[in-house]
């Protein structure tokens, strides 16, 4: 007797679709991605993507929120270790997560699409949540939070344009200085 393939539970299917959407949005941006591309990447039909999330806009907002939640969780875990240098620990946690999950590209895409009446508020709320975490949970001063966020935007840019891959000696030196040689 042949066993029929088991169905993937809806929560797991949703998570897998969010993974696929993250990859597609990271690669193509909000405006360049389509629900058809996301469906193909997830191995499901385009109507099923729409049935799960409603619209591409709502799906992207969930991807943004999920990426921000992962960033905050990695920050919490970094601080739980009571590091001697919390800023460096937070920065290392972010770089590691960005290299593994492309959260930096999702943030950049969210900020680029912030003129959208649904995406803009989600991007702003996420940024404010990150700032609040830095100020109130990590207990950074406003100057420290500003410097951390500024460096984070530089990290996002360097990683997004993959400046470590080739480029001038000056560019590679900057990447090594800002991100580290693991980039």
The end-to-end CA distance of the chain, in Å, is 51
Note the pLDDT of residue 34: 96
Q: Would residue 130 count as lying in a domain?
A: yes
| Residue 154 lies inside a defined structural domain of this protein | yes
Q: How confident is the model at residue 164 (pLDDT cuts 50, 70, 90)?
A: confident
Asked if the structure places residue 73 within a domain, the reply is yes
Nearest-angstrom CA–CA distance, 119 and 138: 27
CA distance 115 to 113: 6
Whether the model pTM is above 0.85? yes
3-state secondary structure the chain: CCCCCCCCCHHHHHHHHHHHHHHHHHHHHHHHCCHHHHHHHHCCCHHHHHHHHCCHHHHHHHHHHHHHHHHHHHHHHHHHCCCCCHHHHHHHHHHHHHHHHCHHHHHHHHHHCCCCCCHHHHHHHHHHHHHHHHHHHCCCCHHHHHHHHHHHHHHHHHHHCCCCCCCCHHHHHHHHHHCCCCC
Q: pLDDT tens, 82-138? A: 999 999 999 999 999 999 989 999 999 999 999 999 999 999 999 999 999 999 999
Residue 25 forms part of a structural domain:
no
Residue given tokens 């949540």 in the structure block: 129
Whether the CB-CB separation of 107 and 149 falls below 8 Å is answered with no
For 135, the domain range is 61-178
Confidence category of residue 1, pLDDT binned at 50, 70, 90? very low
* Residue 68 included in any domain: yes
Highest-confidence segment of 1-5, 116-120, 164-168: 116-120
| Banded model confidence at residue 43, pLDDT cuts 50, 70, 90 | very high
Question: Residue 35 pLDDT more than 60?
Answer: yes
CB 158 within 8 A of CB 174: yes
Structurally, the chain folds into a number of domains equal to 1
pLDDT at 182: 41
Domain for residue 56, yes or no? Answer: no
In a domain, residue 6? The reply is no
Express each pLDDT in 51-85 by its tens digit: 999 999 999 999 999 999 999 999 999 999 999 99
What is the percent of the chain with per-residue pLDDT over 90, rounded to a whole number? 77
Q: Is residue 17 part of a domain?
A: no
Whether 76 and 124 have beta carbons less than 8 Å apart is answered as no
């Amino acid at each position: 007797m042949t066993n029929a393939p088991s169905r993937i539970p809806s929560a797991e299917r949703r998570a897998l679709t969010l993974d696929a959407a993250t990859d597609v949005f990271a690669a193509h941006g909000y405006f360049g991605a389509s629900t058809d591309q996301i469906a193909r990447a997830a191995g499901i039909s385009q109507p099923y993507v729409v049935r799960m999330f409603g619209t591409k806009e709502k799906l992207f907002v969930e991807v943004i929120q999920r990426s921000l939640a992962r960033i905050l969780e990695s920050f919490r875990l970094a601080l739980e270790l009571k590091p001697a240098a919390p800023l460096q620990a937070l920065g290392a946690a972010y770089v590691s997560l960005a290299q593994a999950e492309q959260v930096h590209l999702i943030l950049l895409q969210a900020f680029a699409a912030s003129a959208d009446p649904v995406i803009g508020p989600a991007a702003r709320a996420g940024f404010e949540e990150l700032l609040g975490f830095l100020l109130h949970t990590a207990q950074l001063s406003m100057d420290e939070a500003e410097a951390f966020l500024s460096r984070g935007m530089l990290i996002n840019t360097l990683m997004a344009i993959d400046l470590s891959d080739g480029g001038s000696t000056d560019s590679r030196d900057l990447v090594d200085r800002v991100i580290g040689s693991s980039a």
